[in-house]
Structure 1
Amino acid sequence: MNLQIVLGRAASRVQSVGAGMALGLAAWAAIFAGEAYAETPVAPPPVALAPIARAAGDGPPLWVIRDADSTVYLYGTIHLLKPGTAWGSDKVDAAFDSASDVWFEVTSPDDQAAIMPIIQQYGLSPERPLSSWLTPDELATLAIAAPAAGLTAQQIDPFRPWFAALMIATGPLTAAGYDPKLGVEMNLRTRALAAGKTIHGFETIDQQIGGLARMSDDGQKTYLRHYLKTYGTAAADLDRVVAGWIANDPAAMAQYAHENGRAISEETHQIFMASRNADWADQIETLLAGSGTSFIAVGLGHLAGDDTVQDLLAARGISVIRQ
Structure 2
Amino acid sequence: MTTLDTLKTSTLAFGRRLMGTAAAAALGLGLGLAVIAGAPAPVMAQDAALTSAPDGSPALWVLRDADSTIYLFGTVHILRPETAWHSDVVDQAFASADRVVFEITNPDDQAAALPLIQRYGIDMETPLSSRLTAEEQAKLNTAAGDMGMTGAMLEPMRPWLAGLTLSMAPLAKAGYDPQSGVELVLRARALEAGKPVDGLETMEEQIQMLAGMSEEGQMAFLRSVLEDYEKATVELDRLVAAWAAGDVESLEAIGVTPMREESEPFYQTLLVRRNADWAGQIDTMMDGEGVIFIAVGSAHLAGDDSVQVLLEQRGYTVERVQ
Superposition TM-score tier, normalisation by shorter sequence:
0.7 to 0.9
SS class of match (1:190) = helix
Aligned to 2:69: 71
The TM-score normalised by the length of structure 2 is: 0.79
* 2:83 is aligned with 1:85: yes
Residue 93 of structure 2 aligns to which amino acid in structure 1? A
Out of 233, 236, 241, the residue aligned to residue 234 of structure 2 is 236
Question: Which digits, 9 at most, give the CA deviation of each residue in 1:165-209, with x for residues without a partner?
Answer: 210221111111111222211111111112111111111111111
Q: 1:157 to 1:305 in 2, by over 3 A?
A: farther
Out of 121, 128, 131, the residue aligned to residue 129 of structure 2 is 131
Q: Aligned-pair distance for 1:136?
A: 4.7
Aligned to 1:110: 108
Moved more, 148-157 or 133-142: 133-142
**Hey, which bits of structure 1, 4+ residues long, moved more than 6 A?**
none
Out of 201, 204, 213, the residue aligned to residue 202 of structure 2 is 204
Separation in 2 of the partners of 1:222 and 1:315? 37
Identity %: 50
SS class of match (2:72) = strand
Separation in 1 of the partners of 2:302 and 2:110? 30
* 2:224 is aligned with 1:223: no
Residue 276 of structure 1 aligns to which amino acid in structure 2? R
Aligned to 1:192: 190
Aligned to 2:40: none
Residue 128 of structure 2 aligns to which amino acid in structure 1? L
Aligned to 2:44: none
Q: Which runs of 5+ in 1 are unaligned?
A: 1-16, 29-53
Separation in 2 of the partners of 1:318 and 1:226? 41
* 2:146 is aligned with 1:145: no
Q: 1:264 to 1:146 in 2, by over 3 A?
A: farther
Superposed CA RMSD in Å reads: 2.4
Aligned to 1:279: 277
Question: Which digits, 9 at most, give the CA deviation of each residue in 1:113-172, with x for residues without a partner?
Answer: 111111111101132333344455443432322223343222213211211121022111
Q: 1:317 to 1:25 in 2, by over 3 A?
A: farther
Question: Which digits, 9 at most, give the CA deviation of each residue in 1:33-64, with x for residues without a partner?
Answer: xxxxxxxxxxxxxxxxxxxxx96557110011
Separation in 1 of the partners of 2:149 and 2:56? 41
Q: 1:75 to 1:284 in 2, by over 3 A?
A: same
Q: Which runs of 5+ in 2 are unaligned?
A: 1-17, 30-51
Residue 152 of structure 1 aligns to which amino acid in structure 2? T
Q: Aligned-pair distance for 1:74?
A: 0.5
Separation in 1 of the partners of 2:133 and 2:21? 25
Residue 111 of structure 2 aligns to which amino acid in structure 1? A
* 2:95 is aligned with 1:94: no
Contact 2:23 2:207 in 1 (8 A): no
Contact 2:20 2:77 in 1 (8 A): no
Contact 1:257 1:302 in 2 (8 A): no
Q: Aligned-pair distance for 1:271?
A: 2.8
Q: Aligned-pair distance for 1:305?
A: 3.6
Moved more, 224-233 or 242-251: 224-233
Aligned to 2:152: 154
Q: 1:292 to 1:130 in 2, by over 3 A?
A: same
Higher RCO, Cα 8 Å, sep 6+: 2
Q: 1:277 to 1:134 in 2, by over 3 A?
A: farther
Q: 1:313 to 1:220 in 2, by over 3 A?
A: farther
> When you count helix as a share of all residues, which structure comes out higher?
2
The TM-score normalised by the length of structure 1 is: 0.79
